[in-house]
Structure 1
Amino acid sequence: MPATIITTEDLREFKLELLSDIEHILSEQSQGQLKTYLKSSELMDLLKISPGTLQNLRINGTLPFTKVGGIIYYDAAEIQKVMDKNRVDNTI
């Protein structure tokens, strides 16, 4: 098996690619992009609500959800629509 020699230039290119990927990931996070589907625990963390509150929001039809097997998923776009629809504007 022949040995592969890694040059300083190879390492420099790798570093630049890695930094570019990290910048891309950080820019997506700073833009507030959400995953397409959220699990219950992720949604509870995002909305700062308890498991009981989340269950009540499901039961009364406030939050649409999809159940696959035993896991409940929430569409991030649908959650945003619910949040926008229930927005209270207190400007005088």
Structure 2
Amino acid sequence: MQANELITKEDLRQFKNEMLTEMKLLLKPGGTSQSKQWLKSYEVRKLLNISPGTLQNLRVNGTLRYTKIGGLLYYKYEDILGLLEENSR
């Protein structure tokens, strides 16, 4: 940036609006941040804010479907959304 370039309040407002628009797109289901179809266990636990034991209970009682490949467990993002919808009040 050169010494004679100034950032105006309008420039900052425009930047803020663009940043908010991008963040909303990223946080929206189907947006870039959640475009992964399959999530690992730690991602599901973080997303739902649950413990490893709670996730295991969801698997064992058939509440949440999963796929095991090698030693890793994978969960479909759409199944997790469905679980949240079923339990919404």
Q: TM (normalized to structure 1)?
A: 0.62
| Unmatched segments (≥5 aa) in structure 1 | 1-22
CA separation in 2, counterparts of 1:30 and 1:48? 17
Identify the residue that residue 56 of structure 2 maps to in structure 1: 55
Q: Are residue 29 (structure 1) and residue 30 (structure 2) matched? A: no
1:14 maps to: none
SS for the counterpart of 2:68 is strand
Q: CA deviation at 1:75?
A: 0.1
Task: Give the superposed CA RMSD.
Answer: 2.0
**Could you tell me which residue of structure 1 aligns to residue 66 of structure 2?**
65
How much identity, in percent, do the aligned residues show?
45
SS at match of 1:64: coil
Q: CA deviation at 1:71?
A: 0.5
- Paired with 1:69 and 1:28, the residues of 2 have a C-alpha distance of 34
Aligned length in residues: 66
Q: Aligned AA for 2:28?
A: Q
Q: Taking CA–CA contacts closer than 8 Å with sequence separation of 6 or more, which of the two structures ends up with the larger relative contact order?
A: 1
The offset of 1:65, in angstroms, is 0.5
The more displaced of 44-53 and 28-37 is 28-37
Structure with bigger gyration radius: 1
TM norm structure 2: 0.64
